[in-house]
Amino acid sequence: MIACPTVLKAQTKIVKVNIDQSIAKVQPNMWGVFFEDINFGADGGIYAELIKNRSFEFTKPLMGWTVQRKKANEGEILVVNRADVNSTNPRYIQINNENGVFGITNEGFKGIGVKKGLKYNFSVMYRQLAAGVKLRLQLLDANNQVIGEGNLVPADTGNEWKKQSTSFTATQTDPKAKFAITFEGKGKIDLDMISLFPGDTWKNRPQGLRSDMVQLLADMKPGFIRFPGGCIVEGTDLANRYQWKNTIGPIEDRKLIINRWNTEFADRSAPDYFQSFGLGFFEYFQLAEDIGSDALPILNCGMACQFNSGEVAALDELDPYVQDALDLIEFANGDVSTKWGKKRADLGHPKPFNLKMMGVGNENWGPQYLERLAIFTKAIKAKYPDFKLINSSGTDPQGDRFNLLNTTLRENKADFIDEHYYRPADWFLKNAGRYDNYPRNDTKVFVGEYAVHADQSHVGSNRNNWQSALASASLMTGLERNADVVQMASYAPLFAHIDAWQWAPDMIWVDNLQSYGTPDYYVQKLFSTNKGTDVVSITLDGKNIIGQDGIYASSVIDSKKKELIIKISNSSDQPKTIDFDLEGKRKLQSKGTVEELTSSNLNQVNSFTNPEAVSPKISAIKIKDKKLNINLKPYSFNVFKIPFN
């Protein structure tokens, strides 16, 4: 932001802001986040488990593990199937150590991130059939040097499964360590759920979440968390769909499934991508509560991904799916005397989570979606009339599929229609006025997934550069201006592991030890932390500001904090001189602030080495006689805040 000379230049724009008149309420949960276990966002990401394939349930049971031996001994390691064919935890390994020179090593998810001086918590389920085996536990660097070491001597013998834990401290930092277990002493032992967690999880919860990743979320103060997706809700077929009931309770009983992003894209194949559900629905509700967000679960509607199998549950066999939805509401909100409310209480949360809404279907479309949705809606509204339902409008924000759903769902008085757009920057700029003429009726819009994709491919050719974030910011001024219609929005996807992603761009990038926010992260954060309470009018020549000379703007007041907030982007390569006329009876203070996000290079990205290359810089502004004169830098997004009395 550059101080402006008092003499008006020819190109000065007079922008009028009417501070007194609220033209729409901003919902407190307007700006949220979309979480899906894609790009190793959960397993190998925010779920802090460091051991890959800890329970040997991957399709290849020893994937991620290598056996270390000096001399082969038949039967020294066996993968054993449990007798119960319906087991939620179908396999374990049996170690029969006769030579005393035998071990197994886990490679982690693209290596194991280890921090010097940090405690590591190891646990294992075991059944010691012939006592005598001791477990030596070692973190190893790339040269097989020990960088952390502990021991576990199984305390019990017999046929019962036991769980035992121990901790040790790392002596070096290494982003790509391995974890070795050496079996010392003769004996026979069954092992399962071999687990290692860093000692610095979010809120120090045992077997919890990566705190740096949660902190980035918490800093955004998101209004809601959409979870668990995304296509993961649908599954490639119905057997592979997300079923929330399989994600709660003891982790060893959360049946692992193939992650549907596993081999979805041949060019980004990840055959070692599975869902352990260590971050399950209880942890999700808890996370939302921790960071002050509403939960917004999306449930399968009896249809698998229509890009894959398109498998559907027959209409007369939809009951279990509908029951899952009803039971989830009871699990979240039910009294402890109810079946599912009691389960929540037993997991340590007697207080309800106050769930207010749910999506039925992710990106489903067509008459078969409408038929199934009608059944869900009838059942859910009959039991919970005020509960809000989010309906899908398919994968695209235009076209025949969209039109059918948009028209029918509005006729049906849907609470919310979920729009998704992954489009080039230019589309975002052209659509900043998209909602200005939307119907102002009962049905609201949830922009549930959006991101600038330079070439409309799942692997966008840009990695959240400044151009994509600036275009998002410009469009978002249009969402904010229409906050009476667009009541929620979430950028997608949220997380990506630098060595394991399937889909780009993404808002936050991580490796095994670090994480950083992209320029898009900062745009989202600026909106979310400056959401205000009421939209007020901001115009140029009496019109909404939707790209005149490259400028996009919206304005809100925060009636609680007593602030006027103006968001304005300059998408052009020229500076712009703006004179704001701040009209209204409220008495504005003479000093305010501006947070400016800018780069002269549209291709600028943030990175592990330069995580804040594009990040907000704050400076002071002066207001005189209800006027604010400023110069907007080329390619900039600016948030002005002016307190009032």
Which tokens go with 274? 């599975």
Of 197-205, 226-234, 343-351, 508-516, the window that binds ligand AHR (rule: CB under 6 A) is: 226-234
Unique residue bearing structure tokens 């349930």:
57
Closer residue to ligand AHR in complex, CB, 19/447: 447
CA atoms within 13 A on the CB side of 196: 33
Rounded CA separation 209/202 (Å): 5
Closer residue to ligand AHR in complex, CB, 53/362: 362
Which tokens go with 643? 């307190």
Using the rule CB under 6 A, is 419 a contact of ligand AHR?
no
Instruction: Figure out which of the listed residues 57, 107, 449, 595 binds ligand AHR, where binding follows CB under 6 A.
Output: 449
Which tokens go with 169? 């401290």
Using the rule CB under 6 A, is 503 a contact of ligand AHR?
yes
Instruction: Figure out which of the listed residues 32, 198, 493, 532 binds ligand AHR, where binding follows CB under 6 A.
Output: 493
Closer residue to ligand AHR in complex, CB, 330/363: 363
Using the rule CB under 6 A, is 492 a contact of ligand AHR?
yes
First vs last Cα of the chain: how many Å apart? 25
Q: Give the residue from 445, 398, 401 showing the smallest Cα distance to 421.
A: 398
In the complex, minimum distance from the CB of residue 242 to ligand AHR, in angstroms, rounded to a whole number: 11
Closer residue to ligand AHR in complex, CB, 35/331: 35
Closer residue to ligand AHR in complex, CB, 37/480: 37
Of 224-232, 464-472, 539-547, 623-631, the window that binds ligand AHR (rule: CB under 6 A) is: 224-232
Residue 80, Ramachandran bin (φ over 0: left; ψ between -120 and 50: alpha; else beta): beta
Query: How far is CA 94 from each of CA 78, 189, 190, 453, 536, rounded to the nearest angstrom?
Result: 5, 6, 4, 48, 67
In the complex, minimum distance from the CB of residue 446 to ligand AHR, in angstroms, rounded to a whole number: 13
The 36-75 contact track toward ligand AHR, x by CB under 6 A, reads x-x-------------------------------------
* Active-site annotation holder among 311, 330, 363, 480: 363
Query: Looking at this protein, which amino acid is placed at residue 220?
Result: M
Counting residues that bind ligand AHR (by CB under 6 A) gives 12
Closest CB to ligand AHR: residue number: 230
Cβ–Cβ < 8 Å for 202, 136: no
Instruction: Figure out which of the listed residues 231, 287, 597, 642 binds ligand AHR, where binding follows CB under 6 A.
Output: 231
Using the rule CB under 6 A, is 363 a contact of ligand AHR?
yes
* DSSP β-bridge partners for residue 447: 419, 489
Instruction: Quote the longest CA-to-CA distance of the chain.
Output: 90
Which tokens go with 474? 């410009």
Query: How far is CA 330 from each of CA 233, 297, 323, 334, rounded to the nearest angstrom?
Result: 20, 13, 10, 4
In the complex, minimum distance from the CB of residue 232 to ligand AHR, in angstroms, rounded to a whole number: 6
In the complex, minimum distance from the CB of residue 150 to ligand AHR, in angstroms, rounded to a whole number: 39
Closer residue to ligand AHR in complex, CB, 312/492: 492
Cβ–Cβ < 8 Å for 460, 571: no
Using the rule CB under 6 A, is 264 a contact of ligand AHR?
no
In the complex, minimum distance from the CB of residue 96 to ligand AHR, in angstroms, rounded to a whole number: 44
Rg from Cα positions in the chain: 27
Closer residue to ligand AHR in complex, CB, 31/168: 31
Q: In 3-state terms, what secondary structure has residue 627?
A: strand
In the complex, minimum distance from the CB of residue 325 to ligand AHR, in angstroms, rounded to a whole number: 18
Closer residue to ligand AHR in complex, CB, 365/384: 365
Of 223-231, 251-259, 308-316, 584-592, the window that binds ligand AHR (rule: CB under 6 A) is: 223-231
Using the rule CB under 6 A, is 480 a contact of ligand AHR?
no
Closer residue to ligand AHR in complex, CB, 248/492: 492
In the complex, minimum distance from the CB of residue 259 to ligand AHR, in angstroms, rounded to a whole number: 11
Using the rule CB under 6 A, is 229 a contact of ligand AHR?
yes
- Sign of the Cα torsion 517, 519, 521, 522 reads positive
* DSSP β-bridge partners for residue 76: none
Unique residue bearing structure tokens 């489009």:
423
The 366-395 contact track toward ligand AHR, x by CB under 6 A, reads -----------------------------x
Using the rule CB under 6 A, is 362 a contact of ligand AHR?
yes
Using the rule CB under 6 A, is 592 a contact of ligand AHR?
no
- Bond prior to 493 in cis (omega within 30° of 0): yes
Cβ–Cβ < 8 Å for 170, 148: yes
Q: In 3-state terms, what secondary structure has residue 473?
A: helix
Unique residue bearing structure tokens 């290596």:
111
Closer residue to ligand AHR in complex, CB, 23/459: 459
Query: Looking at this protein, which amino acid is placed at residue 469?
Result: A
* DSSP β-bridge partners for residue 77: 95
Is 363 catalytic? The answer is: yes
Using the rule CB under 6 A, is 217 a contact of ligand AHR?
no
Instruction: Figure out which of the listed residues 32, 223, 230, 359 binds ligand AHR, where binding follows CB under 6 A.
Output: 230
In the complex, minimum distance from the CB of residue 229 to ligand AHR, in angstroms, rounded to a whole number: 5
Of 229-237, 286-294, 518-526, 635-643, the window that binds ligand AHR (rule: CB under 6 A) is: 229-237
In the complex, minimum distance from the CB of residue 260 to ligand AHR, in angstroms, rounded to a whole number: 9
User: What is the H or E stretch that residue 15 is in?
Assistant: strand 13-25
Residues 132-191 binding ligand AHR (CB under 6 A) are none
Residues near 281 by Cβ (< 8 Å), separated by ≥ 6? 244, 247, 248, 297, 328, 331
Of 58-66, 225-233, 366-374, 629-637, the window that binds ligand AHR (rule: CB under 6 A) is: 225-233
Unique residue bearing structure tokens 């948009």:
406
In the complex, minimum distance from the CB of residue 283 to ligand AHR, in angstroms, rounded to a whole number: 20
Which tokens go with 479? 């969402």
Of 227-235, 247-255, 315-323, 612-620, the window that binds ligand AHR (rule: CB under 6 A) is: 227-235
Closer residue to ligand AHR in complex, CB, 168/503: 503
How far does CA 483 lie from the centroid of its chain? 23
- Bond prior to 320 in cis (omega within 30° of 0): no
Q: Give the residue from 8, 3, 198, 212 showing the smallest Cα distance to 108.
A: 198
Rounded CA separation 475/339 (Å): 45
Which tokens go with 98? 């006769």
Residues 548-577 binding ligand AHR (CB under 6 A) are none
Residues that bind ligand AHR (CB under 6 A): 36, 38, 229-231, 362-363, 395, 449, 492-493, 503
Active site residues: 363
